[in-house]
Amino acid sequence: MHYVYVLKSERNGRRYIGYTQKSPQERLNEHNSGKSEYTKRNGPFVLIRVEEFQEEGEARRREKFLKTGHGRRVLDSSITK
């Protein structure tokens, strides 16, 4: 299974969008433990959205879309702040 996930910083409210083959909860734990430079500086994070895909290509395309201006607007309209 492939996942696209959205994290929200409890420190500054910024979002992080990522892709993983691991469980989203496991990936969240890695981000909160400081394994990524960006998330180390902006954490702790909470998981606010997960999308599941069968194909890696689908998941990668969705991640790329969500990082665009239009994708961010889609997230803004679908996630309660």
pLDDT in tens, 26-60: 999 999 998 888 788 888 999 999 999 999 999 99
- Three-state secondary-structure class, residue 55: coil
69: tokens are: 């201006």
Rounded-to-integer distance, Cα 42 and Cα 51, Å: 23
- Three-state secondary-structure class, residue 21: coil
Residue 65: partners with Cβ closer than 8 Å, 6 or more residues away: 71
Confirm if 27 and 33 have CB atoms less than 8 A apart: no
pLDDT of residue 6: 96
Task: From 20, 16, 15, select the one nearest 1 (Cα to Cα).
Answer: 20
Does the pLDDT at position 13 exceed 70? yes
Does the pTM exceed 0.85? yes
Q: Which CATH architecture has domain 2-78?
A: 3-Layer(aba) Sandwich (3.40)
Residues above pLDDT 90, as percent of the chain: 77
Supply the mean pLDDT for the chain: 92
- Cross-strand bridge partners of residue 17: 6
pLDDT of residue 38: 79
Does the pLDDT at position 81 exceed 70? no
Does the pLDDT at position 25 exceed 80? yes
